[in-house]
């Protein structure tokens, strides 16, 4: 007899059930999962589906979506509910079989940017601030939720792979493209830990959007657009979740010409550059094991070697955090410039130290002095992005890299005026390079006038 993998043996557990130790709905920023018509109605619908459509419940993700939704509709119709209750119950069961289960309402909420599961507790980030969202009934319910996320993407939640990174794929529906990091409960004493960074893709933020949000000044934006258009190499640094990728994407859309071929490399697709000719490559940071290579996994190092056979004008990397960082620096040496990447740094002065740490971690045998020389010879600007105590994300520094791998600020955040202000000009050498290598003059001029408006 086929069993429903979403319904474990023993007393039925509804992962939608809420623990009301305190009224979560009263908390600022909380989200209440739909309660439909009650646990009994939910269980009876699931029992009916098990009895009449066990083949669909065996693996609903592989079954035709239309067949699953038709079966759910038929099951709900057997309950003789009022339309509002029937609609809520249909949504609840659909979310459980085809979606993110109790997390689905959070996936649908465009104000939520991060979803964090700490055992049975679920938190969300809205406007840069964390707040409680849901309480699942038990640690086992949190594990069921993690299993659901894995199963949706054709993966297995297992202790032999305690650390997992994957993308949520649900084309045309909320949550599509969300980045998921999962730590198995055997490695997390407080219960399974899941971090979900959503991709709220109603509309990607453009440069005017970031200016309106106060992320940077028009003058700072113009400098970055002209720098990348003119062949300077730029690193965007900052803590996780500060908006580095959003800024890279917005600047790239203005700086990259329509006739240029761009190759991007990431571990999960986030950049999504809005340019006509872009090739997006996905590879993992760590070198794949023999088992992973059999499955077809490749590293970003592998991808880098392959790009030597792929003609490109620009190479953009989502983040520097593995051995591919040094392949990227070497590529900067041999290209005409206009390359960009990001890195996690508390402050930009730590760039050489961070790269040296990466070299030591992966036993690359690179002395610190060599890394400092590579930074000085390849990177032109570092853009520091921070998030303040209110959750506001903004550029705090745009610094030029000196010949000794030091930094000279060109723009700096003024806390008194709450503005990014110019404090110096670019060196004559880099200004001359930009003038000689700008490939998108018309587009830069258009961007400057548009931003100024």
Distance CA 410, CA 400 (A): 7
Distance CA 413, CA 422 (A): 9
The string of pLDDT tens digits covering residues 17-58 is 433 333 333 233 333 343 434 458 888 998 999 889 888 888
> Is 400 within 8 Å of 375 (Cβ atoms)?
no
Higher pLDDT, 401 or 240: 401
Q: Are residues 301 and 424 in the same domain?
A: yes
Q: Are residues 287 and 432 in the same domain?
A: yes
> Is 400 within 8 Å of 380 (Cβ atoms)?
yes
Q: Number of helices and strands (H, E) in the chain?
A: 16, 15
Distance CA 347, CA 415 (A): 17
Tell whether 8 is covered by a domain: no
Higher pLDDT, 235 or 111: 235
Q: Are residues 239 and 182 in the same domain?
A: no
The predicted pLDDT at position 172 comes to: 63
Tell whether 5 is covered by a domain: no
Q: Are residues 158 and 211 in the same domain?
A: no
- Eight-class DSSP state of 453: -
Tell whether 16 is covered by a domain: no
Tell whether 10 is covered by a domain: no
Indicate which CATH number applies to the domain containing 436: 3.40.50.300
Distance CA 188, CA 54 (A): 34
- Eight-class DSSP state of 299: B
Q: Which of 342, 341, 369 is nearest to 353 (CA)?
A: 369
Distance CA 220, CA 217 (A): 5
- Mean pLDDT value across residues 338-358: 96
- Mean pLDDT value across residues 176-184: 89
Q: Where are the beta strands (DSSP E) in 271-344?
A: 278-282, 314-317, 340-344
Two structure tokens written together for 22: 């305190």
Domain count, the chain: 2
Q: Provide the 3-class DSSP secondary structure of residue 425.
A: coil
Q: What's the gap between Cα 216 and its chain centre?
A: 21
Cβ neighbours of residue 239 closer than 8 Å, sequence gap 6 or more: 344, 345, 346, 386, 387
Distance CA 379, CA 402 (A): 9
- Mean pLDDT value across residues 320-347: 92
Q: Does 201 score more than 80 pLDDT? A: no
Q: Are residues 176 and 298 in the same domain?
A: no
The predicted pLDDT at position 20 comes to: 32
Q: Are residues 190 and 227 in the same domain?
A: no
Q: Does 228 score more than 50 pLDDT? A: yes
Two structure tokens written together for 259: 């006739």
pTM of the predicted model over 0.85 = no
The predicted pLDDT at position 169 comes to: 81
Domain final position from 197, 229, 260: 197
Indicate which CATH number applies to the domain containing 87: 3.30.450.380
The predicted pLDDT at position 116 comes to: 97
Query: pLDDT band at residue 440, thresholds of 50, 70 and 90?
Result: low
- Eight-class DSSP state of 121: E
User: Within 13 Å of residue 82, how many CA atoms lie on the same side as its CB?
Assistant: 4
Q: Where in the sequence is the domain holding 80, given as residue range(s)?
A: 24-197
The string of pLDDT tens digits covering residues 244-298 is 999 999 999 999 999 999 999 988 788 889 999 999 998 877 776 777 776 677 8
Distance CA 228, CA 338 (A): 5
Q: Are residues 373 and 397 in the same domain?
A: yes
Q: Are residues 291 and 431 in the same domain?
A: yes
Two structure tokens written together for 364: 């690359």
Two structure tokens written together for 162: 């305690």
Q: Are residues 182 and 211 in the same domain?
A: no
Q: Are residues 189 and 285 in the same domain?
A: no
Tell whether 57 is covered by a domain: yes
């Amino acid at each position: 007899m086929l069993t429903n993998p979403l319904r474990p043996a023993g007393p039925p557990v509804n992962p939608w059930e809420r623990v009301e130790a305190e009224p979560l709905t009263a908390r600022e920023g909380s989200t209440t999962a739909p309660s439909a018509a009650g646990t009994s109605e939910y269980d009876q619908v699931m029992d009916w589906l098990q009895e009449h459509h066990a083949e669909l419940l065996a693996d609903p993700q592989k079954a035709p979506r239309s067949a699953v939704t038709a079966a759910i509709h038929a099951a709900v119709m057997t309950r003789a509910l009022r339309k509002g209750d029937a609609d809520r119950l249909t949504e609840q069961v659909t979310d459980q079989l085809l979606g993110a289960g109790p997390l689905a309402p959070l996936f649908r909420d465009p104000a939520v940017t991060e979803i964090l599961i700490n055992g049975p507790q679920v938190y969300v980030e809205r406007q840069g601030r964390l707040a409680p969202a849901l309480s699942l009934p038990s640690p086992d319910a949190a594990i069921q939720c993690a299993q659901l996320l894995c199963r949706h993407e054709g993966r297995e939640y297992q202790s032999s792979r305690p650390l997992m990174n994957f993308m949520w794929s649900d084309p045309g529906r909320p949550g599509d493209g969300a980045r998921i990091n999962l730590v198995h409960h055997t490695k997390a004493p407080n219960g399974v830990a899941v971090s979900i960074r959503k991709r709220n893709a109603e509309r990607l933020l453009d440069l005017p959007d970031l200016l309106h949000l106060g992320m940077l000044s028009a003058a700072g934006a113009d400098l970055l657009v002209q720098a990348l258009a003119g062949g300077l190499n730029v690193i965007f640094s900052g803590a996780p979740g500060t908006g580095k990728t959003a800024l890279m994407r917005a600047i790239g859309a203005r700086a990259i010409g329509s006739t240029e071929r761009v190759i991007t490399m990431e571990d999960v697709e986030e950049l999504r550059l809005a340019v006509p000719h872009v090739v997006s490559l996905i590879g993992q940071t760590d070198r794949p094991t023999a088992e992973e290579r059999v499955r077809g996994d490749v590293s970003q190092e592998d991808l880098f070697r392959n790009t030597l056979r792929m003609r490109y004008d620009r190479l953009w990397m989502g983040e520097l955090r593995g051995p591919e960082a040094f392949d990227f620096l070497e590529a900067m040496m041999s290209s005409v410039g206009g390359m960009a990447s990001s890195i996690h740094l508390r402050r930009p002065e730590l760039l050489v130290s961070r790269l040296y740490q990466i070299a030591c971690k992966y036993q690359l045998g690179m002395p610190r002095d060599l890394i400092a020389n590579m930074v000085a010879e390849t990177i032109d600007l570092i853009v520091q992005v921070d998030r303040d105590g209110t959750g506001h994300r903004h550029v705090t520094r745009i610094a030029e890299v000196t010949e000794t791998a030091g930094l000279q600020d060109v723009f700096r955040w003024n806390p008194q005026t709450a503005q990014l202000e110019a404090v110096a000009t670019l060196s004559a050498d880099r200004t001359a390079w930009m003038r000689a290598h700008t490939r998108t003059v018309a587009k830069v001029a258009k961007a400057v006038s548009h931003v100024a408006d």
